[in-house]
Amino acid sequence: MRALVARAAGAPPRVEEIVLPAPGPAQVRVAIRAAGVCHSDLSMVNGTLAPTYPLVLGHEAAGVVLAVGAEVDRVRVGDHVVLNWAPPCRQCWFCARGEPWLCAATGAPSLPSGSTDADGTPLHVTLGLGALAEEVVVAANAVIPVPAELPFEAAALLGCAVLTGIGAVRRTAGVVPGEAVAVIGLGGVGLSVVAAARAAGADPVIAVDLSEAKRDLAIAAGATDFLLSDDTLNRSVRTRTGGRGVDHSFECVGRAATIRLAWRATRRGGQVTVVGMGGKDDVVELGALDIFHSARILRSSVYGSSDPDRDLPELARAVLDGSIALGPLISDRTTLDEAPAALDRMARGEGARSVILF
């Protein structure tokens, strides 16, 4: 059984042989068939999210159930499933309130897993999953069955970038037709936000990135405008929005500097939705008078403010009936051995999603 393992912050991850435990009574074993490479994996590799090492990477994946524990009744052997990296407990105060994305039992960047490396050293897994691996053993509530006709690569992307991107637009921000939107950072997550904003009727949808190479990807995903993230950004956004700024900005990088950019690009009374996951020492400075006078809302979107058990099957149907197109999000398909190279490309800001096929 091979998996992509990070040994220490900043050390290049390597594909290693690992040993999985047998599934416990409330666990399932899944053969991974497709896994996306997400920036959060890179933030585990470089230490930004401060996980515990050694760590199996990966959290955006889909596959086939190989075995189920004695108490499991939500899936059966052979079912196709998407992995959920924040499975809610359904018992805490947040779950009872209908906000399972804030479940008190979730949120740790890494968890112990019962897996070991070839020498018997215990391994942690990313967000309870460790899905850049041929197989995983995970909690049964961390798998969501999807129709067998859904391609695995699409199913994988639903599990992080797409649920997050669509949820940020529809649920966290509540974008309505005719609103002006800016999206800062155009990786798999940002492009998914662009597509969702356009689908929600936003106009203009202004896509922003450091790299000119993202222009065509953004237009393909549904952006009406593309702007480079430089000193002239704020002026250019205002030129396109009657001098006001956008109604909604979405930060899809995960840095204080881009949260500031999003804040400045937003009109008085508009909303800044932070989708990126940044480091705890990267601090955003906002003026007290600016906060008052601008009347802006600053909100984060955790897992798209979604309930994956409810929302993911609906997204799967939307992919199957053609109302969501994921083609523009995928820039390349590759193998587990090439996953470190895909992470390097992501660190350089190249491409959209790389999908690992097994």
Binding site for ligand APR (CB under 6 A): 38-40, 43, 184-190, 208-211, 214, 229, 252-254, 257-258, 275-277, 346, 349
Which residue is at the shortest CB distance from ligand APR? 187
**Nearest approach, Cβ of residue 330 and Zn ion (Å):** 15
Closer CB to ligand APR, 67 or 220, in the complex:
220
Q: How far apart are CA 178 and CA 202, in angstroms?
A: 5
* Nearest by Cα to 20 from 29, 33, 10, 9: 29
Closer CB to ligand APR, 100 or 188, in the complex:
188
Interface segment toward Zn ion; rule CB under 5 A; list 54-62, 99-107, 117-125, 177-185: 54-62
Residue 57, φ and ψ in degrees, nearest 5: -85, 170
188 binds, among ligand APR, Zn ion, none (CB under 5 to 8 A by kind): ligand APR
Tell me which residue has tokens 């470190």: 340
Identify the residue among 27, 40, 229, 266 touching Zn ion (CB under 5 A).
40
Closer CB to ligand APR, 27 or 258, in the complex:
258
| Neighbour tally for 233: CB within 10 Å | 18
Q: Is 261 in the site for Zn ion (CB under 5 A)?
A: no
252 binds, among ligand APR, Zn ion, none (CB under 5 to 8 A by kind): ligand APR
Q: How far apart are CA 7 and CA 204, in angstroms?
A: 44
Closer CB to ligand APR, 223 or 346, in the complex:
346
Interface segment toward Zn ion; rule CB under 5 A; list 112-120, 155-163, 325-333, 346-354: 155-163
Beta-sheet strand order (sheet of 266-274): 225-228, 205-209, 181-184, 246-251, 266-274, 297-300
| Neighbour tally for 270: CB within 10 Å | 24
- List C-alpha distances in Å: 284 to 58, 186, 208, 215: 28, 21, 19, 27
Q: Tell me the per-residue interface mask from 72 to 111 with Zn ion, x by CB under 5 A, - otherwise.
A: ----------------------------------------
Closer CB to Zn ion, 188 or 328, in the complex:
188
Facing residues of 246 across strands? 266
Q: How far apart are CA 207 and CA 228, in angstroms?
A: 9
Interface segment toward Zn ion; rule CB under 5 A; list 30-38, 103-111, 147-155, 337-345: 30-38
133 binds, among ligand APR, Zn ion, none (CB under 5 to 8 A by kind): none
* Nearest by Cα to 205 from 248, 161, 146: 248
Give residues in contact with Zn ion (CB under 5 A): 38, 40, 60, 160
